[in-house]
Amino acid sequence: MNVGRTRPVWAFLTGPYALFLLVLLLVPFANIAVYSLHPYSPTKVFLPGLTFDNYRKIFDLYYIRLFGRTLRLGLITTAVCVVLGYPLAYWLARARPRWQAMGLFLLIMPLMVSAVIRIFGWIVILGRKGLVNQALAALALEPVKILYSDTAVVIGLVNIFVPFMVLPVMAAIERISPNLEEAAHNLGANWYQMFRRVILPLSLPGLISGCLLVYSLSISAFVTPALMGNPRERMVAQQIYDEVLVSFNWPGAASLSLALVLLTAALMFGALFATRHTGRHEKVS
C-alpha cells in the first residue's frame, strides 16, 4: 500500500524534470539530427532535400585524424586523472572528518572559478616567459615550449576535470569497510596485495564512473584546447565551432555534433555494462 501511494508522488516530482529534458534536450537534439541530413548552403541554413554527404565526410582523412586526436587527448587526460585522483580519493575516503572536509573544500573550490580564468593562469605559468621558464633560467637550463601544445591541453584539462575523477572514486571507497583491509593484512597480505585484491575490485564501479565522466568531458572540451592548444591542431569541438561561425556550415557542424554525441553515448553504455558485469561478478564471488 505504501509503495503504491508513493508512486504518484514520485511521478509528480520527476514530471517537471522529464518535461525539461524533453523540451530543452530531446527537441534540440532532434533538430540537430534533421540539420545533419540536409545539404550545405553558403547563403542559407541548409538546402531542401536529404543527403548523407555530411556523414560521409567524417570518414575523410582530415576528420579521422581530428577524431583520433580528440580521443587520444581524452584518453591521456583520463589516465593522468586516474593516476593523480585515485590516491587522493583513497586518502579523502580514509581521512578523519576534519581533514576530509578540508580536502573536499580545496578540491571543489576551483570549480567555483571560471575555467577561462584558470586557463589564463596556466598561460601565465607555462608561457615563454612564464614561471616555469623563469625557474629553468634561474637554474641555468634551457627554456621549454609547453604552451600551445598537446601537453598544455592535457595539463589544462586535468586541472579542470580531476575533481570529477576523485568524487566518484572516493564515494566507492567509502562504501568499502576498513575491516576488509584489516582482514587482508591479518591474513598476511601486504598493502599492494590488499589494494589489488580488495580495494581496486570493490572500487571499480566508481573508477569506471570517474573515467566515463572525465573522458566524455575531455573529448567535448572547447575552451581549453582553443586557448592552450596549437591553433593548427584542433579537437572536434573547435571544428564544430568553426563550421558554425566561420564556414556557416550548419549541416556539417550538426553531423559532427551528432557523431560526437553518439560516441559519448556508446562510451556511457559500455561503462554501464561493465559496471553491471562487475557487480554481478562480485555477487557471484
Q: What is the pLDDT of residues 61-111, one digit of tens each?
A: 999 999 999 999 999 999 999 999 999 999 999 999 999 999 999 999 988
Please tell me which residue, 281 or 243, carries the higher pLDDT value: 243
Q: What is the mean pLDDT of residues 142-151?
A: 89
pLDDT at residue 40 is higher than 80: yes
pLDDT at residue 135 is higher than 70: yes
pLDDT at residue 278 is higher than 70: no
Q: What is the mean pLDDT of the chain?
A: 87
pLDDT at residue 30 is higher than 70: yes
CATH code of 239's domain: 1.10.3720.10
Q: Give the list of residues 6+ apart from residue 39 with CB closer than 8 angstroms, or none.
A: 46, 47, 49, 51, 53, 251
Q: What is the pLDDT of residues 97-118, one digit of tens each?
A: 999 999 999 999 988 888 889 9
Tell me if 197 is assigned to some domain.
yes
Tell me what pLDDT residue 17 has: 80
Tell me if 66 is assigned to some domain.
yes
Tell me what pLDDT residue 281 has: 52
Burial class (CB in 10 A: 0-12, 13-18, 19+), 19: exposed
Tell me if 53 is assigned to some domain.
yes
H/E run at residue 242: helix 236-245
Query: What is the rounded distance in angstroms from the CA atom of residue 68 to the CA atom of residue 57?
Result: 15
Least confident of 5-9, 24-28, 199-203, 234-238: 5-9
Tell me what pLDDT residue 284 has: 47
Tell me what pLDDT residue 15 has: 79
Query: What is the rounded distance in angstroms from the CA atom of residue 140 to the CA atom of residue 133?
Result: 10
Tell me if 150 is assigned to some domain.
yes
Choose among 86, 124, 107: nearest CA to 208. Answer: 86
Count: domains in the chain:
1
Domain region containing 220: 49-279
pLDDT at residue 285 is higher than 70: no
With contact defined as beta carbons under 8 Å apart, do 227 and 159 qualify? no
Q: What is the pLDDT of residues 150-186, one digit of tens each?
A: 999 999 999 999 999 999 999 999 999 989 988 888 8
Tell me if 4 is assigned to some domain.
no
pLDDT at residue 217 is higher than 90: yes
Share of the chain above pLDDT 70, in %: 93
Q: pTM, whole model, 2 decimals? A: 0.85
Tell me if 195 is assigned to some domain.
yes
